[in-house]
Each structure stands twice: as structure tokens, then as C-alpha cells.
Structure 1
Amino acid sequence: MKPYPTASTVRLTATMGACLALAACTTMPAAPAWVPGQQVTVEGQVATIDTTPWTYDGSAVVTLATPTGSVDVHLPARWNLCKAPPPDNVQALKAGDRVRATGTASEPHTLVVCEHTGHGLHRAP
């Protein structure tokens, strides 16, 4: 004798199908469309922090999750060459912290905090 699906199995299958269809329709928000050289201020939550590049004179990268997409904030290793003040204790930042970054766009979703005295990476109020 062949088992017949119960009403709960049919509902579960229909619900799963609807969820999969909705998931296929959603997309990640696009990154901000910045022009290189543009001055940008953005607020978001810290997603990741990579200070490893500082060990070889590279830029640390703090990735922010913003309503318009992911933004990479580059913090140069040689702050003595920047006009901007050094950021507040980067090592104290952690995922989920709200911050505000002001800098110069270098790519569509990347900004560098260094060029002007008003640039910086600070906890958002």
C-alpha cells in the first residue's frame, strides 16, 4: 500500500516552495556608486577588521555593513603621512559597533581615511 501525503506534509512542501521562490527574488543591496576622488561620509556597523596589512606598511581594512551595501574603509599604516588624525583605537572595535567614516573614495565601494583633516573613523553617536 502506498502512503498518501498528509495535509501537514503538503502545507510544509508548499511553504518551503514559497520561501525558496521569495529567496530567489531577493538580492543584496548594491554598493554605493562613488566616483574616485569623491569625498564620502558613511555610517554603518563594523562587519570585519583586518589590521594584518599594517605589519607590512599596507592599509588596515575595516568593512562596514551599511543600508546600501558593504563598504571597505582603508586605514593607512603611516599616519604621519596623513593629514587626518589617527582613528580611535582600531583594536578596540569589534563586529557590530556602529561607526562613521569620512574619507576619499578610491573605488566604487572603498574609501581611504587620510587625505584631509576632516577624515576619520569614529564610533557613531
Structure 2
Amino acid sequence: MARGLAIATALLAAACTSTGDTAGTAAGDVRTTGVIVSIDTQPWTYDGNAVVQVDTADRGRLQVQLPARWNLCRAAPVDVEAMAVGMRVEVEGAASGEDAVVVCADASHGLVPAAGT
């Protein structure tokens, strides 16, 4: 049990850490706008990251990951209930590979409706 908890803690810490991105706002951060194409909260049922896919003009399709345990994040929880497919949104989070962003590690991170939406 302790080993499983240690592994889960390490995975969560890795999910909330930036890996670096040359096109970001700060070291490892990504900031962009786009349109939601899908929302999958199913992973939250087993303590995984929910995934909101966002099509962007500058980065292609991003997998925006929303951690199940917001209490471990510096970012405010995303109001997924207010999100809908087709909605224009602003994304800010830590790069996680080429096509993923994790909204967690910094208070500035978030997924919110774009201004004027």
C-alpha cells in the first residue's frame, strides 16, 4: 500500500511539473487560445487527469489535462461544468510533451472562456 501511494504521489508530482517549451510564456509554460473539441472527465473516476482537447491555430490540437486533486495544485480549479464543445477558451499551463498542457503548477494556470465569448 505504501509503495502504491509513493508511486501515485510521484506520478502526480510529475504531472504538475513543467518539462520546458520554447514557445511558452515562462520557462515551460504554454499560453494560447482555441476551441474545445472534446471534454473527457471519465479519468477523474479513477483519480486520473480529465482531458479537454482544444484546437489552436498556433499549436494544433492540445490535450489540456485537469488534475483530479486540485487541492495539490496552485492553480484554481477549472469550472468544467461551464465548458462546452465549440466554446472558445484561453489555456495556460505547463507543457507536457509536444501536444499536452497540465493546468496545475502555477496560480496563473487555467482553462477559461475567452474574452468576448
TM-score of the two chains, using structure 2 as the length reference = 0.73
Residues 1:45 and 2:39 aligned together: no
Q: CA deviation at 1:96?
A: 0.6
> Paired residue for 1:106, among 81, 96, 110?
96
Secondary structure in 2 aligned to 1:64?
strand
Matched residue count: 90
Q: CA deviation at 1:36?
A: 2.6
Q: CA deviation at 1:111?
A: 0.5
Please give the residue correspondences for 1:8-47 in structure 2 after superposition, counting only pairs within 5 Å.
36-37=19-20, 38-47=28-37
Q: State the partner residue of 1:75.
A: 66
Unaligned runs of 5+ in 2: 1-17, 21-27
Which structure has the larger Rg over C-alpha atoms?
1
Q: CA deviation at 1:124?
A: 0.4
Secondary structure in 2 aligned to 1:107?
coil
Unaligned runs of 5+ in 1: 1-34
Moved over 4 A (4+): none
Q: State the partner residue of 1:90.
A: 80
Q: State the partner residue of 2:114.
A: 124
Q: CA deviation at 1:93?
A: 1.3
What fraction of aligned residue pairs are identical, expressed as a percent? 48
Does the 8 A contact of 1:36 with 1:108 survive in 2? no
